[in-house]
């Protein structure tokens, strides 16, 4: 067995890479479901939606620029969270979200209230499961997720699930503020904030924590290993 094979087996590296790619790309798909539902997007996307109204460039390109700026935070305070998944997220998730939304719109051009509610529920479930996988893989997280992780694990200011609630609420407030400053009307505010935003702002942290313990950690380490039962 080569030294590289030994390292991959010892550190579960193949699983970590697959979990990161799966998690990041599926998060992009989930964002498309949120946008199609028009019941509000997840908190960070709420912030991005507010910026999107103010800055007239493509969403995918805007996402890359904003995340590149946020990357500096991790570079300064804790580079541990920067890795493969960080750059997959930075360069791809915005474009995957655009593709996901366009595909859903083409296949379901006239969604009613029930259809939109189904899209919202799928988006919430998918984004929480996907986030738990790429965060548990621990080879890089999104620049936004890194903020809560650094505050919680590096600065030791509260558990992640509670810190995440706070950062999510801040993002929602910024998103709505930017949208209103840009002259957005109430008829289109569902693209920025709504019941979906409220649900993810207060429950996404705990749900990610739950799926990490029940799905992601057992997948990575094996369900009977102590690491699989450790709290996020």
- 114-145 in b/e form (b: 16+ CB < 10 A) is eebeebbebbbebbbbbbbbbbbbbbbbbbbb
Is 41 contained in some domain? yes
Measured CA to CA, the distance from residue 150 to residue 115 in angstroms comes to 38
Is 74 contained in some domain? yes
Residues spanned by the domain of 88: 13-221
Is 231 contained in some domain? no
Which two tokens mark 53?
Answer: 């109204």
Q: Which residue has the higher pLDDT, 185 or 77?
A: 77
Is 4 contained in some domain? no
Counting Cα atoms < 13 Å in the Cβ hemisphere of 229 gives 4
Number of domains in the chain: 1
Is 161 contained in some domain? yes
Q: Tell whether the model's pLDDT for residue 232 goes beyond 90.
A: no
Encode pLDDT of 79-120 as tens digits: 888 888 888 888 888 889 889 999 999 999 888 889 999 999
Encode pLDDT of 28-85 as tens digits: 999 899 889 988 887 888 898 888 888 888 878 888 889 888 888 888 888 888 888 8
Is 44 contained in some domain? yes
Q: Which residue has the higher pLDDT, 187 or 204?
A: 204
Specify the pTM.
0.75
Ramachandran region, residue 231 (left: φ > 0; alpha: ψ -120 to 50; beta: rest): beta
Is 205 contained in some domain? yes
Q: What is the gyration radius of the CA atoms in the chain, in angstroms? A: 18
């Amino acid at each position: 067995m080569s030294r590289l094979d030994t390292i991959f087996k010892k550190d579960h590296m193949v699983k970590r890479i697959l979990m990161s790619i799966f998690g990041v790309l599926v998060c992009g798909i989930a964002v498309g479901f949120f946008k199609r539902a028009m019941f509000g997007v997840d908190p960070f996307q709420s912030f991005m939606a507010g910026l999107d109204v103010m800055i007239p460039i493509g969403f995918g390109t805007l996402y890359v620029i904003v995340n590149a700026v946020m990357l500096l935070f991790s570079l300064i305070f804790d580079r541990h969270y920067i890795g493969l998944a960080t750059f997959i997220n930075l360069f791809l998730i915005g474009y995957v979200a655009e593709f996901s939304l366009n595909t859903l719109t083409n296949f379901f051009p006239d969604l009613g209230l029930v259809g939109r509610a189904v899209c919202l529920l799928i988006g919430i479930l998918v984004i929480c499961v996907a986030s738990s996988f790429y965060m548990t893989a621990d080879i890089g997280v999104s620049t936004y997720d890194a903020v809560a992780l650094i505050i919680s694990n590096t600065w030791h200011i509260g558990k992640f699930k509670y810190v995440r609630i706070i950062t999510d609420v801040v993002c929602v407030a910024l998103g709505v503020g930017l949208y209103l400053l840009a002259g957005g009307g109430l008829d289109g505010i569902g693209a920025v904030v709504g019941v979906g935003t409220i649900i993810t702002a207060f429950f996404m942290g705990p749900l990610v924590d739950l799926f990490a313990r029940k799905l992601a950690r057992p997948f990575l380490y094996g369900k009977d290993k102590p690491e699989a039962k450790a709290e996020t």
